[in-house]
Structure 1
């Protein structure tokens, strides 16, 4: 019976396999397109971007984005997320704080920036 449920699940696109989990971070279309543009401008093209957390700011944490050029010891244990054609490396030390976060890119009249919407955040400033 369980194998039949998995077969139906594959056909319908629903998840019943407990090994399948939601990605740690999700990118909006706008964020994915901006990251692709930034990656394409670099030569050689990086493997992706790395999201980590730094202790600073009024709430104690801020997000940091860096290019990942090679698979080295620094990113060896990171969570790797593929979303909308972009590879995102989530720092293993930040993973529990980042789970469920949506990364967006906003262009305003005065500034353009990546914005992180984290449902686990207790406060922002």
Structure 2
């Protein structure tokens, strides 16, 4: 399997969507860093293939897809990650006293047991 041959199966046609909870979470993270954005990429990792990477960046990289989630939040998606994450909903959920960013990716066919990595068909 290669990223070049994978055809994403987005239900909504949008690259990525964010829930209101995720938007609120990322806006709070960026509050002390005006003008910055959140950048989503992937890396080869774990036992099943890929891992999500979220970073705060001063600007998008060349070729990134930009999603303006709110007046305070822009999400940049790496060109290399776009095929793997198209159709993904990013959520922020509370689990006990901890908060966790969740990726609801309809393209995932396999995840490792610890939830650290994923693969697509």
Quickly name the TM-score band, shorter chain normalised.
0.7 to 0.9
Counterpart among 36, 59, 66 of residue 27 in structure 2:
36
Matches within 5 A, 1:1-125: 22-42=13-33, 45-71=34-60, 75-85=61-71, 86-125=73-112
TM-score (norm 2): 0.75
Q: How many residues align?
A: 100
Separation in 1, partners of 2:59, 2:39:
11
Determine if contact 2:37/2:59 at 8 Å carries over to the other structure. Answer: no
| Structure 1 residues 30-68: Cα deviation after superposition (integer angstroms, max 9, x where no partner) | 0000000000023xx243100000111222111000112
TM-score (norm 1): 0.73
Separation in 2, partners of 1:114, 1:77:
25
| Larger fraction in strand | 2
| Larger fraction in helix | 1
Structure with the greater alpha carbon radius of gyration: 1
Consecutive unaligned residues of structure 1, counting only runs of 5 or more, are: 1-20
Structure 1 runs (4+) deviating above 2 angstroms are: none
